[in-house]
């Protein structure tokens, strides 16, 4: 079995890092360089066939930030399939709305803190 990632997917992920939304940029300021709970996060990380917004390998945590397109029927269906796929890999997926990240940052970070504490307490 070939474990190499599709080079086009890696190129696309890299380009997404340079075209991040305001919410992604704000969240990254809190997550980068182990600023949040001393955890290492990656942004626009490839978990083939998907690219997730943020990923913490240590906790198996995926953070997705959603804009309005995710509230449409197609977006909801795609997100549900994607979440099932990631959960089948034993990853925890949390989602936050962009407007909450931008307007209720403290609430989002408090929830994320709780999720990370829970995952830390259950990890081997």
Least confident of 2-11, 62-71, 113-122: 2-11
Cβ–Cβ under 8 Å, residues 33 and 59? no
Question: Residue 19 belongs to what H/E stretch?
Answer: none
pLDDT of 107 higher than 70: yes
Half-sphere exposure of 30 (CA within 13 A, CB side): 17
The CATH T-level fold of domain 21-122 is Endonuclease; Chain A (3.40.960)
CA trace torsion 68, 79, 25, 40 (10° rounding) = 160
Cβ–Cβ under 8 Å, residues 8 and 87? no
Give the predicted TM-score (pTM) of the model: 0.84
pLDDT of 4 higher than 90: no
């Amino acid at each position: 079995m070939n474990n190499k990632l599709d080079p086009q997917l890696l190129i696309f992920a890299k380009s997404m890092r340079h075209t991040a939304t305001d919410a992604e940029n704000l969240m990254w300021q809190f997550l980068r360089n182990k600023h949040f709970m001393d955890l290492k996060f990656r942004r626009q990380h490839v978990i083939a066939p998907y690219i997730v917004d943020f990923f913490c390998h240590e906790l198996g945590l995926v953070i997705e930030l959603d804009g309005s397109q995710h509230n449409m029927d197609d977006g909801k269906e795609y997100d549900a399939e994607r979440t099932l796929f990631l959960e089948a890999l034993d990853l925890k997926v949390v989602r936050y709305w962009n407007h909450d990240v931008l307007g209720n940052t403290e609430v989002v970070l408090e929830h994320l803190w709780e999720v990370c504490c829970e995952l830390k307490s259950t990890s081997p």
